[in-house]
Structure 1
Amino acid sequence: MTSDAVWNDAFSRATVVCQANGLQLIDPLVAKVADRPDCYWVLDIASSVSDRLGMGEAADEETGQIMLHLMVRKASGINTPTALSHVKAMSTAFRASRINTQPQGWPAGLFYRGQSNVPPNLDDTGNWYALTLMVDYTYQDALEQQP
């Protein structure tokens, strides 16, 4: 299960990058299909596994992958170097310990690890190319105590 702390941190980091680059960030649960710009970001969580750190431990460890998709409309005039610069800026946001909107840094127990990306498949059908950045994370959190 993905923690709201992880989602909120990732969304705020991605928002800062989007604002700096003049792009929109779309939450997939509230996305509007009509009137999308030629280039925008979508954030989702690819997978998440959660379990206690050990027998009797009051701490939980969640691991997963944040997926950020840069969507580029075909024939929009946005070239590869521009798209790659957007992906690089987003990658950097998940390597920095502090960002402008969160001067305290990411939540205690949240660690961003490796990153990978998937280039667009130029043979895909449809109207969009997707450049995907995947950021691995680990989040350790205290379990809620039951009465």
Structure 2
Amino acid sequence: MAFVLTLRVLLGGFFALTGAAKLCQLSAPESEQMKALFLQFAEVFPLKVFGYQPDPMNYQTTVGWLELLAGLLLVVGPPMLQEISNLFLTLLMMGAIFTLASLKESLSTCIPAIICLGLLRLLDICQALGQTKKVDRYRRKKTPSMLKKPWEQRVSSCRL
């Protein structure tokens, strides 16, 4: 359980920081580099085949807010919102991998997105296994004697 909590906090913090970096443009060189990247990303946007191509600045802002909010919810949100934020971040990482592959970027450029996607999936699997264990524990409870069938009560009283 400590592993899941640590992984969730690290991933959530990472995504919250990367989202904040996309929203806050502190220095000019990094800001211009980010704008140039999102110009390229908008050119290969997955929904372009359906006729939708986003404005690069709105695209950057949307991705930044999504990463920031989903990262924060992954850390401090209730379990249902943690699962939803994990889903959004998983979809976002799949989109990032698609975008980088469409731009024919090198594998070393894609590795951070692939690792993040793998860690998000690992977190999802660990949380699902944790919920399964909770269900098993509840099933193992003994039934109260008043819910037992009459012949079961007689058998248990005979053993005393």
Instruction: Please indicate the TM-score interval, normalised by the length of the shorter structure.
Output: under 0.3
Q: TM-score, normalised by structure 1?
A: 0.27
Q: TM-score, normalised by structure 2?
A: 0.26
Greater helix proportion: 2
Greater strand proportion: 1
